[in-house]
Structure 1
C-alpha cells in the first residue's frame, strides 16, 4: 500500500506564527481585538481564523492567546509551569489570556465544562502549516497522486503531537470549518486556514481519534452557509443512510502479496487469459437468518474467493464500492470516491479481502465511475457555493438520463482529483484494474441530447475534448505508476482507438467492452432455431472488427435488469433446450476471440432477473440442469486458462482462422484459434440447431489427434451426450481449403472445442 506519512513536513514549527500561505511572514505586533472582530468570529463569519485565534504578540514581551470555547464555563492557559486564567470576552465563548514573555508561548488549554468536568487540550491555532506550496501547486497537475497525500483527513504527528490534519479544496468559499462529533458540529470552533494561492483550506486538530465523524461547514461566496459537506477525499464514510465522513487516515495494512505484485508487473494482459466474474457484493449472497443482511468483506473473503477460484475465473470485477448513498444506484452514483463502502466493513477489511484474492491467484477489478455524481446535498454539487466540480451550464453539467451532475473535465483541479482517485485504488489498495463506466457519455457532448440541448466544442463538433484529454492522461498515469494493471472502457459506440496507445491518437485504455458482439449474439441466440438461418450474420459480423480493439466480451449486469430477464430466460424452447442453448452459447463465447466477463448468477443459470435487494438463488444448484451449467462454466474456465491457443493471440488477427462461416442453413459455425507456439491449435465448432449432425467434415490447419476438450452436450452438464468419444485423428481428406480435416459428430444445440495434441 502506498505509504502516506504519519508525520507532516511542517512549514513552520509549533511556537512560530502560523502563515496564511507558506511564504507569508509572521504577523506583526497588534493591539487587542475590536469587539466587531470578535462578533464576526463568534458568528463563524471570519475568513482568517489564524489572524485572530491562537497566540498573537500585542506589544513588547506581551502576548494574547485567543480561543473560541463555547463549551467552557471557564478556561485556564497552562504554559511554562504557570496557570493563567482566560478572560471571557463574548458571552458565547470567546476567551483571551494575556501572557508575558519574549518568545511565542507553548501551551495547553484546560477547559472547565458547564457540568464541572475538566479536560486539557492542545490549541489547533498554535500549530503552523504542514502543507507545502509545491503540493498545493500540484493539484493542477493531472496524473499526480498529491490529492490523496495532502487533502482529506490525514492522520499524523505535528511537532510531536498526534492528531488529524484536514485539508479541502474550496477556492470560492468565504469560510470553511471542520465540524464533527468532537466539537458538537459547531462551525465556530474549528474554522480553517486558507491558502490564497490554490484554494485549499487546512487545519490540524490535535487529539482526534480514528472512528470519529466529521464534515465541512462551508460559507459560500454570497455569505450563506451550505448544507454540511462530506469530505471529497474521505478515506472512510458512515454506513448509509448516515452521511458523515469518518476519521481513519489512509488505511494502514501489512500486505502479503509481494509475489503477486511482482508477477503482475511483468505480465502482458493482452496476451494473458482473463476471465472476469462480475459481482455486486450486496446481492451475491446474504444472511437470511439475520435479517437478510449483507455479507461482510471478511465473509466474502471466506466464501466468494474460494468459489471464484474453484470456478476458474481469473478476476473478480466489483460493481462500484466507492461509498454511495442509495442502494438502488448499485454504486453508480458515488459520493466518497476514496472510501470503500462501509456496508460490508472497514477499509482495512476491504484491503484484507483484496490481499486474500491475490493469495488465491485472483485479480480484483473495480467498476469506476468518473463520468457523473449524484445531487445529494452532502456531496460534490455546489461544493463551495459555486459549480466547482460540475459545469454551471446544464447543457454540459447535468445528465438528463440519470439525474446527475457531470464533472467539469476542463477544470484542471477536477481532472487531477479524478485521475488521482484512479491511481489511489490501483496503488493504495493494490487493485488490478478499473472498468470505466459510461465512457460514451463522457466522449460526446450531445450524448442522449436533442438539438439545442448541448454546446459544441471550439471546432463546432460534438466531441468532448476536455473529457478526451482527461481519459488519456488518466490512462497514461495508471499504466505508468501501476504496472500490469488494466483499464477497461465501457464504450458502446464506434469511437476509434479506444484501446490504442495515446501516442497513436488513441484513448489509452487497455481494453474495451465489445457491446456490439454482446448485442448481436444475444439477438441470435434468443431466436427459435428454425429462424436462426436468417440471422447467421449476427454470429459472424463481430469477427469483421474483432481485432480493431482489445476486446472484452461482456455478459454483464446490464443484460439481466430492467425487464430484460435472465440469460436463461432469453433462451428459446422447452426447459431442456433452454439449458442446452445457454451451455452452447457459453462455449461459443469462451472459444471466441476476446477476454471474458460474466455477471454473477449467469454461471448457474439464474432463472429470475437480478434483484439487488436479495441474494442469488443458490438453491437452484440442487437441480442437475443448473448444476450442469455451473460445471460447464468451471470446465470452460480451466480449459481456457490452460490452453494458450484460446487466449495468447486474442488481439491478433493471425491468431484466428475461419473454418466454417457460411453454413447458415444448418446454423453451424467453426474456426481455429492459434497460439504463439507451433502446434498450439484449438478448434471451436457450434451447432445452434436441435439436430445432431453425423459426418460433418471440417478442415483443420494441421494433422494430428484433436482431443475433444469440451462438449456442452456432455451428460455431466445435463446434455444428451452426443459427441466424438474423446477426440479423433485428422485425415488427409481436403476440406474448407485445408489439406487435413476432421469427420465430426456435432451434438444438438452444442459447442465442442478440440485441442490439438502434439
Structure 2
C-alpha cells in the first residue's frame, strides 16, 4: 500500500522504556482495540520521545494502511501496523502539525488526529454545570462547532458519571464502537474534538456501563435529530441564523404595561396537512398559519411541544430531545425562520415545554449511563404511574442545569416569547397520582416536592432576569398558593397560570341543557371568587377536545342552531371574563369532531355559513380585546371588575362590568344562556349617559337571529345592582352582548 501513501515510509524507532511501562501500554492498546475502558489519550496520538521525536499511535480498525502527512499533504512517515490489530504506529522526526492519511478499503481519507488535541472544555465550566448552571451547560455540552489550532471541527461532550467508557460513533467512523473513545473529565463529563465533522452528520454515544453493557444513546443536548422513528442525533449547522426581529425583542423586554394576550394553541403536525397528508414544514406553516393568525387577531401562537419526541401519539408531551426542534417539520433553521416571520407579523410564539417527565425509550435518558442518572433510582420517586414515564431528579444540580439550559436555549437561541410549563402539579407533589405507601415524603415528612419547587423558582428567576419580557405559564391544576406570586413573597414566580377551575366549571355548565342550567348557576359565578388570586389564563385547550368528547361545538346541547349559538355565547363570555385567553385550533370555526393528531382540521366546514360566523366572531372578539382597554388593562386586578347581575339563576343571565383602571370607558357584558329572549331587562351600570352595543353574538352575520340593541342607549338615574344608573336591554337568546359607555 506504500504506493497509495505516496512514498516509502519510515521505520518507527522505539525509545527505551521499562518493561512494566511497555506492558501497561500494550494492555491499554489491547483494551482500546477490544472497545474496553482505558485512557485513550494516555497511549494514542503523539508521544514525545527521549530523543525529541514523536511516536504517533492511531487506532483505526479496518484500515489497510496509514501515513503521517504535513498540512500540504506531503508524506512525513509511513505508519506500521502494531502488534495489536487496528493499531498503527509511526515516528515523526520533524516538529509542527501533522495529519493522517488513512487507506480504507474503498477510500483514502486525510484528516487531523483527534488525539493530538488538548482538552477544550475549561474545568471551571464543568464545575459550574455541576453546581446547576444551565447557561454553562448549554455552552459546553452537545455537538459544538469550534476551531482547535485553526482546525474546524466539532467538540462532542456529554455527562455520564457512572460510565466506564464513552465513545462517539456516527457517520464519520462507520458507527465503529472502538474508533473514537472520549476523554474523561472531572464530574463525570466526557469530551472529544473530532476534526472536520460537518453539519448533518449523524451520531450517538456508545456508553459502557459499570456492568459492562454498551448502550447506544442519543445526545441529550443534541440541537438536531433524525426524523423519527430513526433515533440518531445530528450535528447542527455551524452558521448563526440571521435574525431580523431586534426591534420586536427590544420592545418585548422593555414593556411593562398591560397588553392584550390572546393565544391560539396549535399542534403543528395537524393544523393543516400537505397534499400527501403529511405535516407541513416550517416554511409552509409560516406561509399559511401566520396570515391566518394575523387575520383572526390573536397576539400569540402557542405550539404544543415541538421538542424532539419519539412517539407522535404523545402530541409532543413525552420528549427526549429538549434542545432540538422535531425533524417532523424540517431543520432548526427552518423553525428559526418561522419564529422570525411571526415576529415580523407582530405575533409572539409560546412553546409548551415539558420538564415534569420523560419516556423510557432505550436510546434516551432512561438509565443513561447504565444507572439512574436523570431520574430517581427509587420508582416511588422516579416513575409516573399515570403516564408510565420517568420523573427528573430535581435534587441533582446537573439535571436541573440540563432543564434550565433547555429553557434558556429556546428563549435565547430561538427567540421564543414564552414557555407554558406542562404538568406543574405533578412536579409539586410527591404523592401525585400515587396511593398511600407508593411515595416518599420530603425531608420534613410532607408531600411537597421541595426540590421541584426550588427548580421552578430558579427557572422563573433566571428567565425574568435574562429575558424580562418572556412569559412563563404554569399548567397547574391544584390550589397550590402563589404560583404567580413573586419569589420574594414565597411564590413560584410564574407570570401566568392556567385557570383549570374556570374551564371545568364553565364548560360543564355549557354542556348542560338550558332547562337544567338554573340549578348550576354557581358554575358561572364561582370563578370570580378567586379570579384575582393568580394571574390567570382562561384555557379552552387541546385537552377539552379529545378522548371522545367531540369539539367544543359538538359538546354544546340542542339542535345545530342552538349549538352554534351556545358556542358563540360561550366564547364571548370567555373574552369578557377577567383573565387572558387561550383557544385551541379548530374551536375558532366550530369543528364538530375530536381533534386527531394525525389528521388535518376540517377546513371544509368553512364552506358553511354558521362555521364562518364563529370564525368571524373570534376575529371580532380579538379586535375588541385590542380596542377596548377595559378588557385587558385590569384583567388581573379586582378593581377591573364589578358584578351587575350575578344571581339571576332562574333566567340564566349573567352581567358584569369591566373597568379600565386608567379611567377609560367601562364595558358591560351580558350573557343570556337560555333560548328565551328577554325584553326590557334592567341592568345596573356605573356611568350615566349613553351606552352602545359593540358586539352581539346573535348578530345575523355570525349566524344569529339578529335580535339586539341598536343605536344609543341612555341610562336611567335609578340605582340598581349596586350601581347608580341602569339600562333597559334586549337580551337575545343564547347570546352574549357587549355594551360600552360613551366617552
TM-score greater than 0.5 by the shorter chain: yes
SS of structure 2 residue aligned to 1:379: coil
How far apart are the structure 1 equivalents of 2:661 and 2:569? 27
Q: Which residue number corresponds to residue 124 of structure 1?
A: 114
Report whether the alignment pairs 1:398 with 2:386: no
Q: Which residue number corresponds to residue 41 of structure 2?
A: 50
The count of corresponding residues between Structure 1 and Structure 2 is: 722
Q: Give 1:586-735 correspondences, 5 Å limit.
A: 586-735=571-720
Report whether the alignment pairs 1:234 with 2:222: yes
Q: Which residue number corresponds to residue 736 of structure 2?
A: 751
SS of structure 2 residue aligned to 1:506: coil
2:248 to 249, 257, 260: 260
> For the Cα contact (< 8 Å) 2:485–2:534, is it kept in 1?
yes
Q: Which residue number corresponds to residue 724 of structure 2?
A: 739
SS of structure 2 residue aligned to 1:364: strand
Q: Give 1:422-501 correspondences, 5 Å limit.
A: 422-501=407-486
Q: Give 1:62-211 correspondences, 5 Å limit.
A: 62-79=53-70, 83-90=76-83, 92-100=85-93, 105-115=96-106, 117-142=107-132, 144-195=134-185, 197-211=186-200
1:510 to 470, 483, 495: 495
1:337 to 317, 322, 330: 322
How far apart are the structure 1 equivalents of 2:75 and 2:597? 63
Per-residue deviation, 1:156: 1.8
Greater RCO between the two (CA within 8 Å, min separation 6)? 1
Q: What 5-or-longer segments of structure 1 have no aligned partner?
A: 1-28
How far apart are the structure 1 equivalents of 2:238 and 2:706? 56
Report whether the alignment pairs 1:561 with 2:546: yes
For structure 1, which segment, 627-636 or 141-150, has the greater mean C-alpha deviation from structure 2 after superposition? 141-150
Q: Which residue number corresponds to residue 337 of structure 2?
A: 352
How far apart are the structure 2 equivalents of 1:119 and 1:630? 61
SS of structure 2 residue aligned to 1:72: coil
CA distance change for structure 1 residues 250 and 497 in 2, over 3 Å: closer, same or farther?
farther
SS of structure 1 residue aligned to 2:451: helix
Q: Deviations over 1:559-583 (max 9, x none)?
A: 0111222111111111100000000
SS of structure 1 residue aligned to 2:89: strand
Q: Which residue number corresponds to residue 19 of structure 1?
A: none
The TM-score normalised by the length of structure 2 is 0.95
SS of structure 1 residue aligned to 2:463: helix
> For the Cα contact (< 8 Å) 2:254–2:468, is it kept in 1?
yes
> For the Cα contact (< 8 Å) 1:237–1:341, is it kept in 2?
yes
Report whether the alignment pairs 1:283 with 2:270: yes
SS of structure 1 residue aligned to 2:187: coil
Per-residue deviation, 1:37: 2.2
Report whether the alignment pairs 1:324 with 2:317: no
CA distance change for structure 1 residues 710 and 48 in 2, over 3 Å: closer, same or farther?
same
For structure 1, which segment, 132-141 or 497-506, has the greater mean C-alpha deviation from structure 2 after superposition? 132-141
How far apart are the structure 2 equivalents of 1:698 and 1:250? 64
Report whether the alignment pairs 1:213 with 2:202: yes
> For the Cα contact (< 8 Å) 1:276–1:316, is it kept in 2?
yes
SS of structure 1 residue aligned to 2:682: strand
> For the Cα contact (< 8 Å) 1:709–1:726, is it kept in 2?
no
CA RMSD of aligned residues (A): 1.5
> For the Cα contact (< 8 Å) 1:143–1:474, is it kept in 2?
no
> For the Cα contact (< 8 Å) 2:28–2:39, is it kept in 1?
no
Report whether the alignment pairs 1:523 with 2:508: yes
CA distance change for structure 1 residues 250 and 641 in 2, over 3 Å: closer, same or farther?
farther
Q: Deviations over 1:418-473 (max 9, x none)?
A: 01111111111000000000000000000000011000111111000010000000
CA distance change for structure 1 residues 143 and 433 in 2, over 3 Å: closer, same or farther?
farther
How far apart are the structure 2 equivalents of 1:729 and 1:123? 86
Q: What 5-or-longer segments of structure 2 have no aligned partner?
A: 1-19
> For the Cα contact (< 8 Å) 2:572–2:621, is it kept in 1?
yes
Q: Deviations over 1:399-424 (max 9, x none)?
A: 11111110000011101110111111
